[in-house]
Amino acid sequence: MLVRRLVLGGVLLALGVVVGVVGLVLAFRGFFDIEATVPLDGRPHVVDVGAGEHFVWVDSSVLPPRCEVAADGTSLPLRPVGGSFTRSSGSSGPWEARWVFDAPQAEVEMTCDAAGASDRDAVEIGPRIEGLGLVGQLLATIGLAAVLVLAGGIVLLVTLVRGVAAGSRLPDLPQP
């Protein structure tokens, strides 16, 4: 019985850590997903990004680019991002989500240019990150992980205290 409770406490602790790590990775995966890269060369590029809303990520060390997006010849509006989303990418400056667009189909044509852009300069397209969705996912992840870790800690603590208390009792002596 004692061993089962110790194992249960250990499993709950481990599960809490795993839920926390996996939940955080899933919550922040949108910051690292790059669906397409479009050079700042002023030429149209057909990219497959999947239908739905997407962020256009811009390297802040490059002059602000001008971009146009179209699907089947119809121009798609580039709306400002509601909020501030930035991410780091190696040696270049921080990348910030500048625009969001809604792709009605998987393939879109994107044209971007910027004054003084080099051959290596580009914008990146990634999935749109929902600010409130991100906060909710983080709260749920942290809450569930905390409950599991707390439950595992309580089970281990109670089991160890009871085990020590049971081991320190005097055995029952037979009555004469």
Q: Are residues 109 and 141 in the same domain?
A: no
Q: Are residues 43 and 114 in the same domain?
A: yes
Would you say residue 15 lies in a domain?
A: yes
Would you say residue 124 lies in a domain?
A: yes
Q: Are residues 117 and 138 in the same domain?
A: no
Q: What is the pLDDT of residue 128?
A: 78
Would you say residue 58 lies in a domain?
A: yes
Rounded to two decimals, the pTM is 0.64
Q: Are residues 93 and 63 in the same domain?
A: yes
Instruction: Domain count for the chain, please give it.
Output: 2
What's the chain's length in residues?
A: 176
Q: What is the pLDDT of residues 10-30, one digit of tens each?
A: 999 999 999 999 988 877 776
Would you say residue 121 lies in a domain?
A: yes
Contact by Cβ (8 Å): 114, 62: yes
Q: DSSP characters for the chain?
A: -HHHHHHHHHHHHHHHHHHHHHHHHHHHGGGT---EEEESEEEEEEEE--SEEEEEEEETTSPPPEEEEEETTEEE--EEPSS--EE--TTS--EEEEEEEEESSSEEEEEEE-TT--TT-EEEEEEPPPHHHHHHHHHHHHHHHHHHHHHHHHHHHHHHHHHHHHHHSPPPPPP-
From CA 22, how far away is CA 58, in angstroms rounded? 28
Residue 63's CATH number: 2.60.120
Q: Are residues 105 and 138 in the same domain?
A: no
Q: What is the pLDDT of residue 153?
A: 92
Contact by Cβ (8 Å): 145, 19: yes
Would you say residue 42 lies in a domain?
A: yes
Identify the domain containing residue 51 by its residue range: 33-129
From CA 70, how far away is CA 58, in angstroms rounded? 19
Task: Grade residue 45 by pLDDT with cuts at 50, 70 and 90.
Answer: very high
Q: Are residues 154 and 93 in the same domain?
A: no
Q: Are residues 41 and 124 in the same domain?
A: yes
Q: Are residues 125 and 139 in the same domain?
A: no
Q: Are residues 82 and 53 in the same domain?
A: yes
Query: Tokens in use for 150?
Result: 């707390």
Q: What is the pLDDT of residues 95-150, one digit of tens each?
A: 888 999 998 888 999 999 988 877 778 888 888 777 666 678 788 889 999 999 99
- Asked which of 113, 129, 145 is the last residue of a domain, the reply is 129
Q: Are residues 82 and 52 in the same domain?
A: yes
Q: Are residues 90 and 120 in the same domain?
A: yes
From CA 74, how far away is CA 148, in angstroms rounded? 51
Q: Are residues 100 and 157 in the same domain?
A: no
Would you say residue 106 lies in a domain?
A: yes
Q: Across-strand partners of 86?
A: 96
Q: What is the pLDDT of residue 150?
A: 94
